């Protein structure tokens, strides 16, 4: 995973798979599927009370939402997946900044 493009591709794939797992289960429950479709269309419709009745489905939803948020964040950060502060902050000149 040396490149940003590859890292984004992998995260996007993982997010898609999580969404597909959730949607496969949600389709089995018409009330939940309807709430999910409203949530996708309206971007804010709460389906939490329906998910609270089924811990397994709630776990699938949680995994999908977390990955979707990570993907959205990663796409907006030009240096992702590299993190500031991970490497030695000493510049190539060998002198540390005093600022």
Residue 59 structure tokens: 């776990």
Residue 79 structure tokens: 């240096």
47-62: per-residue pLDDT in tens?
777 777 788 888 888 8
Contact 38, 45 (CB under 8 A): yes
Cα–Cα distance measured from residue 44 to residue 26, given in angstroms and rounded to the nearest whole number: 17
Q: Model-level pTM?
A: 0.53
Residue 1 structure tokens: 């995973």
78-94: per-residue pLDDT in tens?
777 665 444 444 445 55
């Amino acid at each position: 995973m040396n490149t940003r493009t590859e890292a984004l591709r992998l995260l996007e794939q993982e997010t898609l798979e999580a969404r597909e797992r959730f949607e496969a289960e949600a389709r089995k429950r018409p009330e939940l599927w309807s709430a999910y479709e409203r949530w996708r269309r309206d971007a804010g419709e709460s389906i939490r009370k329906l998910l609270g009745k089924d811990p397994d489905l709630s776990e699938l939803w949680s995994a999908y939402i977390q990955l979707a948020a990570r993907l959205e964040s990663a796409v907006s950060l030009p240096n992702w997946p590299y993190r500031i502060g991970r490497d030695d902050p000493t510049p190539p000149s060998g002198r540390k900044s005093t600022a």
